[in-house]
A and B are shown apart, each in its own frame.
Chain A
Amino acid sequence: MTEIKTENEMAHPELAAVEVEGTERSDFLLKGALAAGAIFGLGAVSPFVRGAMGAGGGKGDVGILNYALTLEYLESAFYAEALKKLSLKGGLKDLITTISTDEDAHVKALSQTIRDLKGKPVKAPKVEFPYSDVAGFTKLAETIENVGVSAYNGAAPMIKSKEVLSAAGSIVQVEARHAAAIALQNGSRPAPDAFDKTMTQAQVLKAVQPFLTA
């Protein structure tokens, strides 16, 4: 059991970039390590607002919402571009159209919630996606959706407001459904683990960095 985040690390966000590797939630639970909350990345996600993605994104729930909004903007742009750029057909086109609509709705809802909380929604990041054909796109889509699930699951326990938490839960289930549906298209495993892995903000940033151009 390594890389348990400590109070000290929380005070030093750069240390939060240390990845929690090889930790299966089921293992921890079964070993009775439930009390060690940091295994879920709770300590690591706390310095959200200081990270690059949350820069200027606000504190507390607003910061988390802006972090989520950044990811949703990225997803929204990803699918909108694919629908324009690729000639998708049949069931795949239907699926991607549905997913694209869902991501747009998430962007809207998160922006509105941030404004309701008197925060300022972050701007859409400039993005660029490295794929050249349909197969490359659906592969990348699976990765991006899985990162989305891990990001929400990692951040949600830090949310203070019950309403915001419920909204995040409602969105993450939809992201998980997207991930599974795309995995079926790709012929890969739609539910690879009994427990979805969480990612810290640092891990998420690292994963989406290649797609951010500004």
Chain B
Amino acid sequence: MPAAKNKPTEAGREERGFGRSGVSRRQLMSMAGGSVALGALLAACGSDDSDSGETGSTGPTGSAMADDSTAQFGKGDVGIMNYALTLEYLETAFYDDVAKSGLFKGGDLETIRKFGGQEAEHVAALTAAVKQAGGKPAPKPKTEFPLNNAGQVLRLAATVENLGAAAYLGQAARIRSPEVLAAALSIHSVEGRHAAVLNTLLGKTPVPDGPFAEPAAAGMVLNAVQPFIVS
């Protein structure tokens, strides 16, 4: 282990704090993460592309490319950005609720606030970008999350972040404008970082899909977050 481990670092505190919440790896695996779980989730969401769970290293575009669920948010890049904006609103609200829940303290709470703050920055940037492209930003959805205990919240956070990273990846090849693509990519890798941190805190691998992260189509993602949207 690195020398840094001797110091009571923020990460170390988080690890211990979250460790106490008694999270089961199997529970997380059943919610999100590994390719098998994601594949099952895709199937459960009624994806009509049988290849969606088994994407190759050079062509993981299939179902995400064919899925046109972002059209309900607007045409082309505006629709994609509004879809992303909706997810970012949801993430921001989630972290906000969690921070207020009193379930976390100290370093854990700091991490939650930090991630929530970054999601809020994504909301601001996407809102501006949609306007810049001549579109109308999607409205902020009303949300509600189950916040019964720290373990449940952490598992949900990991699920949401892994799904968010997969959602961005699923749109990359559909984006027309190189500028929008560049912005989306710079957000995408941050979602990946968040997901890796949460997985690590749960004692799970930071790379649940192995060497190649898997994309998720918009239709599947929207179905998956539907339970948290009340209007």
Contact = CB atoms under 8 A, between A and B. Distances in A.
Contacts of A149: 189
A184 interface: yes
A134 to B, nearest CB: 5
Interface stretch (A13-21, A97-105, A121-129, A202-210): A97-105
Interface in A128-177: 133-135, 138, 149, 152-153, 156-158, 162-167, 169-177
B117 interface: yes
Contacts of A162: 61, 65, 173
Interface in B177-211: 178-183, 185-190, 192-197, 200, 205-207, 209-211
B11 interface: yes
A83 interface: no
A171 B182 contact: no
Given A184-B15, A191-B190, 20 more contacts: A25-B182, A25-B183, A29-B124, A30-B128, A90-B1, A92-B1, A156-B185, A166-B60, A167-B58, A174-B212, A178-B206, A185-B4, A185-B5, A186-B2, A193-B118, A194-B125, A195-B125, A195-B186, A196-B186, A196-B190
Interface of B: 1-5, 7, 9-12, 15, 57-61, 65, 114-115, 117-118, 121-122, 124-125, 128-129, 131-133, 165, 169, 172-173, 178-183, 185-190, 192-197, 200, 205-207, 209-215
What are the 10 tightest A-B residue pairs by CB atom distance, in nearest-first order? Answer: A187-B9, A105-B211, A40-B182, A194-B121, A176-B189, A177-B196, A173-B213, A180-B193, A194-B118, A176-B192
Interface of A: 25-26, 29-30, 32, 34-37, 40-42, 89-92, 95, 98-99, 101-103, 105-106, 109, 112-113, 116, 133-135, 138, 149, 152-153, 156-158, 162-167, 169-181, 183-187, 190-191, 193-198
